Structures are given as C-alpha cells and as structure tokens.
C-alpha cells in the first residue's frame, strides 16, 4: 500500500496544476500525441536529463519552439528572459560607469 501511495504522489507532482504546463508544456503536448499521461513523459525526460543534461535541455527548448502548441509560450518566456538579462546588464554597466566616473572626480 505504501508503494502505491508513493507512486500516486510522484504522478500527482509530475502532472502539475490542471491545464497549466509545468514549464514550456512540451511533455504535456508529447503525452497527448503519444496517448499517455504527462507524468510518464516528464519522468522519462527527467531520467534522460540526468544522463545527458546538455543535449536533453537543447532538445526540450527546440521542441518548445517547434511544436505548434508550445511555440508561442516558449518565445514569450525567452523574450522575457532576454529583456530581464538586458535590463540587468544595463544596470550593472550604469553602476560601473557611475563608480568609475565618481572616483575620477
């Protein structure tokens, strides 16, 4: 009985919130296309990522960009990340510039 509860807990955690993708939604879309539950695809992805992190992350992002159901969400997430990165770099450069200019006076 404890084994069943443990597996149910894992399945519930890997299924995420109803109707909401956990990250890009790739596993959910692939599960739907394969006719299986999202938790099983996520579990396989997690195991493969532990074995080959770089290639699996690249495959996940590319899948997010190439699948019709996830491409808009993926582009939106990366657009936001790039904006955040750009803003952070600008703040750091302004801080460095202000420090350099302030110490030259």
CA 100, chain centre distance (Å): 38
Please give the average per-residue pLDDT across 8-33, as a whole number.
Answer: 73
Please give the average per-residue pLDDT across 31-43, as a whole number.
Answer: 92
101 band by pLDDT with thresholds 50, 70 and 90: low
**What are the pLDDT digits (tens) for 41-99?**
999 999 999 999 999 999 999 999 999 988 888 888 888 888 888 989 999 998 888 87
Please give the average per-residue pLDDT across 18-47, as a whole number.
Answer: 86
User: Could you give the residue ranges of the DSSP H alpha helices within 1-105?
Assistant: 2-15, 26-34, 38-51, 53-66, 68-104
**Range among 13-27, 30-44, 86-100 rated most confident:** 30-44
Reading the block at residue 100, the tokens are 């350099």
């Amino acid at each position: 009985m404890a084994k069943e509860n443990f597996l149910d807990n894992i399945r519930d955690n890997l299924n995420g919130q109803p109707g909401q993708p956990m990250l890009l939604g790739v596993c959910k879309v692939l599960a739907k296309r394969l006719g299986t539950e999202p938790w099983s695809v996520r579990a396989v992805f997690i195991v493969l990522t532990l074995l080959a992190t770089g290639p699996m992350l690249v495959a996940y992002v590319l899948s997010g960009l190439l699948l019709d159901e996830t491409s808009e969400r993926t582009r939106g997430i990366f657009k936001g990340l790039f904006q955040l990165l750009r803003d952070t770099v600008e703040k750091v450069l302004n801080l460095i510039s202000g420090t350099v200019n302030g110490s030259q006076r």
